[in-house]
A and B are shown apart, each in its own frame.
Chain A
Amino acid sequence: MYWKELFRQMTDIGVGSAFIVFLVSIFIGAVTAVQTAYQLYGTPFVPASYIGLIVRNTIIFELAPTFTALILAGKVGSNLASELGSMRVTEQIDALESMGVNTESYLIATRIIGAIITIPLLVAIASFAGISGGYIATALGDTYSIEDYIRGIRMDFDPFDVQLMFIKSFAFAFIISSISCYMGYYVKGGSVEIGKASTQAVVYSCIFVLLADYVIVALLL
């Protein structure tokens, strides 16, 4: 096992993406809270605490895993494809193979395992940040109280929701990393082909993430 390379990949994928995932999730949570409040505003039969409930479920079920995966398909996917692609065209992969290094293990397995370990952690951060974003939006607005929001967050909590979030995040991590590594590792040509591989990695990752999202939900719910 190439531990050093694995930790380098975990750092690049995980630490390198944590800030953007956190920032985007805060705003998504805040916007979700504001828009939910707007839609429920003036409805006498729906308690204000439902805003927190809807924000929590939307974020845990869908926004945290899927939105994070789409962000990472763009950031990590293109990076993996272009890094491996340029290694291929500049003969760095050949250099490793000529040394007797198993490049599939060294370059691809470390990236896929690194993504499978770190992306679920990023999704966990995203869900926390999203719910926190909703809290901040609640605190800044005057439509409903923070107590209502907190009550909604804690209402009817089912641990399976979190399990589903992690099942999705593991699947998305595998999809993004494997597609991107494949696109980059088998690139042929020069800089134009690297660019194309990078774009294809993002496009295919997004498509397969959304497809997998539907399949997982259809199977497990």
Chain B
Amino acid sequence: MIEISHITKAFNEQQVLNDVSAVFEAGKTNLVIGISGSGKTVLMKIMNGLITPDKGNVYFNGRDFYSLSREEQKALRQEIGMLFQGSALFDSMTVEENVMLPLNMFSNATKKEKLDRVNFCLERVNLKGVNQKFPGELSGGMKKRVGIARAIVLNPKYLFCDEPNSGLDPKTSIIIDDLIIEITKEFNMTTIINTHDMNSVMEIGEKIIFLHKGVKAWEGNNNDILSAKDENLTSFIFASSFLRDARDAMVEKMVK
């Protein structure tokens, strides 16, 4: 479980996050949604220690990340996997080397054990026979899957995904969503996903937090969201007339 408490962050004069608190539960896909510039990525980077908040705390199963020593933070980071928006694979390394990197850094396993683990993770994300390929030779969806394989290779307790579907076609997006939810359940991870993909919101949003101008404006799940009254949220989710019509049809069906 991850708990964030009164997170506040400003860059120069610009307030990016203002007193954001939330609890993200283990074994669930927790979504943080909001328009571009609402503070989602900054919040995620604060949660995994890449940006220090001006105020507030981040608790990983009760351990306050920003009160830990550097060594303790380093140890805790090994329990965190992160999938970046652009996958952030190392261009000079093969797929195998990319996935093996965290093992090389933090594991005392033998080379064979590491290779077995890499192959297990690559198979888990449905990638086979790409070990010796370089990131430049992969499609966007494959890169995301390699990113997920790298994120889970150390068997993390916490998984952060920053816009895992950006730049992907709808079909590949669904594959990535399914994969994330499967992995979350299988390994009982606390998964936090930044997204503005409405399909993801409706399909895998077991817990949803809506950020608007750096403030938590709404909290609920994919069932509650249809009947949410927050104007900013509804205008964000049902931005097009097509989606508004679809919502009305769904609500009508539920009422009947």
Question: When chains A and B are docked, how far (Å) is the Cα of A99 from the Cα of B50?
Answer: 10
Instruction: Determine how close the nearest CB of chain A comes to the CB of B209; give it in whole angstroms.
Output: 21
CB under 8 Å from chain B, chain A span 64-110 = 86-87, 90-92, 94-95, 97-101
Q: Judging by beta carbons under 8 Å apart, are B86 and A98 in contact?
A: no
CB under 8 Å from chain A, chain B span 208-252 = none
B-side interface size class: 20 to 34
Per a CB cutoff under 8 Å, which of A86, A87, A92, A99 touches B77?
Answer: A99
Chain B residue nearest in CB terms to A93? B88
Q: Judging by beta carbons under 8 Å apart, are A98 and B82 in contact?
A: yes
Chain B residue nearest in CB terms to A92? B88
Q: Judging by beta carbons under 8 Å apart, are A100 and B82 in contact?
A: no
Question: When chains A and B are docked, how far (Å) is the Cα of A90 from the Cα of B49?
Answer: 18
Q: Judging by beta carbons under 8 Å apart, are A94 and B78 in contact?
A: no
Instruction: Determine how close the nearest CB of chain B comes to the CB of A94; give it in whole angstroms.
Output: 6
A-side interface size class: 10 to 19
Q: Judging by beta carbons under 8 Å apart, are B88 and A94 in contact?
A: yes
B48 within 8 A of A: yes
Q: Judging by beta carbons under 8 Å apart, are A98 and B48 in contact?
A: yes
B90 within 8 A of A: yes
Chain A residue nearest in CB terms to B150? A95
Instruction: Determine how close the nearest CB of chain A comes to the CB of B64; give it in whole angstroms.
Output: 17
Chain B residue nearest in CB terms to A2? B105
Chain A residue nearest in CB terms to B102? A99
Given A91-B85, A92-B88, A98 contacting B106 (CB threshold 8 A): no
Q: Judging by beta carbons under 8 Å apart, are B88 and A100 in contact?
A: no
Per a CB cutoff under 8 Å, which of B84, B90, B105, B106 touches A94?
Answer: B84
Report 7 cross-chain contacts, Cβ distance below 8 Å, ordered by A residue: A91-B85, A92-B88, A95-B90, A99-B78, A99-B102, A99-B105, A100-B106
